Amino acid sequence: MRPVLNLPLMSLLSSDLVSAMTAAGRTILFEDGRTIHARGADQPGLSVILSGRVRFGVFSEEGAYYYTGLLNEGHCFGEATLFADMPRAYHADAVGETTVLSLTKTAFNRLFDDRPDFARAFLSTLTSRLYEALDFADDLRRLSLEAKVVKQLFRIQRVGGFEDDSLPIRQIDLAYALGVSRVSVGKALERLQARGLIQLGYGEIRVLDRKRLAESITDKTGL
């Protein structure tokens, strides 16, 4: 089992580096629910969440919106726009009052070249992201549906930075994130609920027994 890393960029920066970075960019405040950027936007640069949370998603062809991820403060996004001429890959909007620091490509490059410690931190974040992505792909391939659901719940809790055990997520978003149908996710969640591990709500899933929930998947993978 790969060790799970979660290294927000900001957590790796010294305080003077944080100041330098903040000074080099532009800080924007977004009200709850406001769009930060649309999918496909030509907006090269690095974005850093100074406070609040950012939710990512896509619109289906029918216009329905699916959330695919949530990042907590300290995390950065938009790395790919820096090196390839790529547009923003996801629609992003603010969850709660959120401040986002935007570094232009040039500002980022200057910081990257001048400050090896910044470069190092950025690299660590990227590596941790890469191995999380590989880990996720592994899960998609190897785990049972039930185990996938459980790990996704933990992932949301971890990366979203939720302290309490109530996760604001719809079953349909879980389904979309895992590439399965809503019905299947619902059934898996029901089974977990029947075992007293979670409690289902309306747009909400509550983790009742974190420990036993974690154990339930090590059992599965051990098979």
In the complex, which residues of this chain contact its own copies (CB under 8 A)?
A: 2-3, 5, 79-80, 82-84, 86, 89, 112-113, 116, 119-120, 122-124, 126-131, 133-134, 136-137, 140-142, 177-179
Q: Tell the smallest beta-carbon distance from residue 172 to DNA (Å).
A: 5
Query: Can you tell me which of 19, 123, 200, 212 binds DNA, judged by CB under 7 A?
Result: 200
Distances (CA, A) of 219 to 149, 212, 223: 14, 10, 7
Distances (CA, A) of 156 to 87, 151, 180: 25, 9, 17
With binding defined as CB under 7 A, does residue 161 bind DNA?
A: no
- Burial class of residue 64 (count of CB atoms within 10 Å of its CB; 0-12, 13-18, 19+): exposed
With binding defined as CB under 7 A, does residue 22 bind DNA?
A: no
Q: Output the six-digit token pair for 57.
A: 């998603």
Tell me the β-bridge partners of 201: 204
Beta carbons of 205 and 197 less than 8 angstroms apart: no
Query: Can you tell me which of 106, 183, 196, 215 binds DNA, judged by CB under 7 A?
Result: 183
With binding defined as CB under 7 A, does residue 184 bind DNA?
A: yes
The number of beta carbons lying within 10 Å of the beta carbon of residue 44 is: 19
Interacting stretch for DNA, rule CB under 7 A, among 32-40, 98-106, 156-164, 194-202? 194-202
Query: Can you tell me which of 40, 96, 196, 201 binds DNA, judged by CB under 7 A?
Result: 201
Q: Tell the smallest beta-carbon distance from residue 19 to DNA (Å).
A: 38
Amino acid at 216: S
Q: Tell the smallest beta-carbon distance from residue 73 to DNA (Å).
A: 23
